Structure 1
Amino acid sequence: MHFLISLWLSLWLLCLFWAKCQGQLIRVPMQYQASFMASRRQHRAGRSSLLAKYNVAGGQEAATLRNGGATETLDNRLNLEYAGPISIGSPGQPFNMLFDTGSANLWVPSAECSPKSVACHRHHRYNASASSTFVPDGRRFSIAYGTGSLSGILAQDMVTIGQLVVRNQTFAMATHEPGPTFVDTNFAGIVGLGFRPLAEQRIKPLFESMCEQQLVDECVFSFYLKRNGSERMGGELLFGGLDKTKFSGTLTYVPLTHAAYWQFPLDAIEVGGTAISHHRQAIADTGTSLLAAPPREYLIINSLLGGLPTANNEYLLNCSEIDSLPEIVFIIGGQRFGLQPRDYVMSATNDDGSRICLSAFTLMEAEFWILGDVFIGRYYTAFDAGQRRIGFAPAA
């Protein structure tokens, strides 16, 4: 009998230990919007929102890497966005959310949203009165978007992702959502994964709370984004570490140069084996699909691709010549990270339904790069907040 009791206790402790260990790596399935062909209008909307996100005023004013967050944006990209589930409150109220490393605030639509906010009423809304763990804050919240201002009220509640429960997380309940920006998105709100200096009102970001509450073994999260996925199989966001089955070789890490955005040094860029730029800064941003380049590199790359410029700062490419286009290489930490034409050429439809091919390299009137999902989808990306570094390896 004593042996059986000891065995039972050992198994029970082993089960507890195993559950605890399993709880340290939280997997969030990424859903990729089902339609693979965006319209030309949606690509233009994506570029406009990207410029607003990084404070580029109509292409006339150079953007700066700001210390505090006052302007964020998100485009209505339909087939170019990744989202995953969380829940807020007790009992949990489910939301499909965009996980955005280019911003730092958490917000969801509120049950008290304005009747005029069409986007709010098309998504699930947070009902404060239905949560036993809701704590009012009372402060007003506002973020300026390219199409208007998202505003609401701050609150606290528990946020659940998988088996992980973050307590006393401050977030925004949106009561007004801007224009058509979020109407047709497959997500209700945003989980900002940038650093606190980027957050509106310097609110503690969700991942910082995870680390402070010791909910993860490592203060690291990592993205694996499929570029040919479906709504059910778009990739994975992993909180607490890495999944070595999702990449090949070893990760190349570089230190962050400014812990607000995930900003790091970019050694050089090569097109077809010829270097066109050296010693730039770059930002890894899961909240945008494009590759935003400084003016000089933007013109050089699109010219070398044989692109035809348009009045809207797009470059049209010949769809029948895609396979002959060169590899474009980003050198990071002394290692080469190449993109093939299939990575950086985006298919779209004109208003008449005809297919066109567009360059994913868009103009940023600033002297830094934005590496969005076009790059992150090709290279598994580890965001190491604990050691203030970022790592890349070829995605499996």
Structure 2
Amino acid sequence: MKIKVLLAALVIWSLCTSAFGFNNASANNTIRIGLKRRNLDIHSIKAARIYAKHNHKGSNMNLGALRDEIVYVKNYMDVQYIAEIGIGSPPQHFAVVLDTASSNLWVPSSKCIFSIACYLRSKYRSRLSTTYTKIGNPSKIPFGTRSVRGMFSQDNVKVGSSVINQQVFTEVTREGFFTFLSARYDGVLGLGFQDAAAERVTPVWYNMLLQRIVTQPIFSVWLNRDTKSRLGGEILFGGVDSTRFRGQRTYVPVAQNGYWEIEIGDVVIGNNSTGLCKGGCPAIVDTGTSFLAGPTTILTQINHAIGAEGFVSMECKTVFSNYGNMIWENLVSGLQPERICNRIGICTRNGTFGVSHVEEKMVARSSKLEKLPNDESGLCSFCEMTVFWMQVELRKETTKEKAFEYVNQLCEKLPDPQGKSYINCDVFSLPHITITIGKKPFPLSPDQYVIRVEDNHDTRCVSGFTALDVHPRRPLWVLGDVFLRAYHTVFDFGNLQVGFAESA
């Protein structure tokens, strides 16, 4: 609804300004901003994590009903593409992440004196700007598992060659020491929706439209696959550069206004369907993370197929050893898969092939913060994964012996949330990983999903896939730069859709 109001306002503004002779924007107005690529290193790869937290809100206070709201956050340690903007008059320059998975603009403030991280990057000085307007209201923006804090201010913001007048942004006065100290950028410019903005301030992208700086309500992203080029990529506000893609574009609707969230279909490893998302899974299109994230259930299968190092889980092996035969017999007898773990007594909730508790259990074990858990939530999640894996093998008419061997191997290939999965740099024999979008296949070749990082003058390779377990009923995916390098992407704000075509 908010977007429709904004677009209606744009139409009225266009008619009024044309009638009174104030419309000085051409129909082809665009803003092109280049992206600088920074090479990932072992430190940033190991520190890169993606999170999701749950807010429980009452949807009906009389009935006491609850609904789950998933808040997707990350720590930006793996950010690879940076752009330069200016704030103030004259412009003060900042290196920022152009992030489609957030909605606020924030940079460090000269008033940030108690956070060491602030001393290592450019800081905004309001006293040096002739167009600064004080607001002063407190601001808190999620950042990884914590947040950055500051105050709202207002000033002109220069993006490319254009200036957005009196943009509300956050002057950050307190940054977490460990969450931000190693970052190689100053702040973040969010390109998400106003619904997700702290205090619902108007995002930069909205003001580009409202101030008629661009006339078409779209922006497009191209990430350069040539690692030797000085140009890392570009974002074109208000248009699409036809030289940056080839073939036909596939458009899919945005499912949720808070994020650029779409629905994807089946994920295929080589020629083998994984099956989990055949009925559809949500996916956030995110320019602010380097990886492609998905549920542990599928990421484990991918790790196994591409030979990536994994995390050996004794809980997984215990469940499989103790209950494998019972699970197989129940599947063969035709019992609904989602009821099996409940029937054999591991889960008390109705199974949904969820893995919402797996990550925290694996983190606790790998960091030795507690003994191996024997609680229901962890074992239940591993049981549901085992059921799913066996069901996939049963559909392929695999023998019981082969299926058991496969599941046992998968228990040794679980993605390690404390680090990334290393992989052989000889990628020619690895399978393609294909994501279905709009009923069309979008394959990723091995050289597209394997990330090369420098380590003491040596090159190491890691899997471009990382685990993200959100909710048993909501296996969320994140299409980060691993995917966006392969596919030129159009964010169609006017029609609430996202379009993909093969990058040129």
**Paired residues, what number?**
359
1:31 maps onto 2:30 in alignment: no
CA deviation digits over 1:133-153, x for unaligned, max 9? 111112101124336431111
Matched residue, 1:362: 466
Matched residue, 1:388: 496
Give distance in 2, aligned partners of 1:158 and 1:231.
32
Structure ID, larger Rg: 2
**Mean Cα displacement is larger for which, 308-317 or 175-184?**
308-317
Contact 2:25 / 2:212 at 8 angstroms: preserved in 1? Answer: no
Matched residue, 2:484: 376
> Which amino acid in 1 is paired with 2:439?
G
CA deviation digits over 1:248-293, x for unaligned, max 9? 1122111111111100010221111222131111110011111111
Contact 1:56 / 1:364 at 8 angstroms: preserved in 2? Answer: no
Matched residue, 2:117: 119
Contact 1:142 / 1:152 at 8 angstroms: preserved in 2? Answer: yes
**Mean Cα displacement is larger for which, 168-177 or 355-364?**
355-364
Name the structure where helix makes up a greater proportion of residues: 2
Please give the residue correspondences for 1:95-244 in structure 2 after superposition, counting only pairs within 5 Å. Answer: 95-114=94-113, 116-146=114-144, 148-229=146-227, 232-244=230-242
Give distance in 2, aligned partners of 1:293 and 1:186.
26
| CA 1:318–1:154: 2 relative to 1, 3 Å | closer
For structure 1, the residue ranges without an aligned partner over 5 or more in a row are 1-18, 58-62
Give distance in 1, aligned partners of 2:229 and 2:98.
16
1:299 maps onto 2:305 in alignment: no
Matched residue, 1:346: 451
Q: State the Cα distance separating 1:197 from its structure 2 match.
A: 1.3
Give distance in 2, aligned partners of 1:56 and 1:363.
17
Q: State the Cα distance separating 1:355 from its structure 2 match.
A: 4.5
Contact 1:229 / 1:235 at 8 angstroms: preserved in 2? Answer: no
Matched residue, 1:45: 47
CA deviation digits over 1:215-255, x for unaligned, max 9? 21211111111244368411101100111111111221111
Q: CA RMSD in A?
A: 2.4
Give distance in 2, aligned partners of 1:73 and 1:276.
26
Give distance in 2, aligned partners of 1:320 and 1:169.
46
TM-score by length of 2: 0.67
| CA 1:83–1:269: 2 relative to 1, 3 Å | same
> Which amino acid in 2 is paired with 1:211?
L
Give distance in 2, aligned partners of 1:231 and 1:124.
26
For structure 2, the residue ranges without an aligned partner over 5 or more in a row are 1-23, 56-66, 312-365, 367-415
Name the structure where strand makes up a greater proportion of residues: 1
Q: State the Cα distance separating 1:181 from its structure 2 match.
A: 3.2
Matched residue, 1:15: none
Contact 1:32 / 1:231 at 8 angstroms: preserved in 2? Answer: no
Q: State the Cα distance separating 1:317 from its structure 2 match.
A: 4.7
TM-score by length of 1: 0.84
Give distance in 2, aligned partners of 1:220 and 1:28.
14
Q: State the Cα distance separating 1:130 from its structure 2 match.
A: 1.4
Give distance in 2, aligned partners of 1:45 and 1:295.
18
| CA 1:341–1:193: 2 relative to 1, 3 Å | same
Question: Secondary structure in 1 aligned to 2:189?
Answer: strand
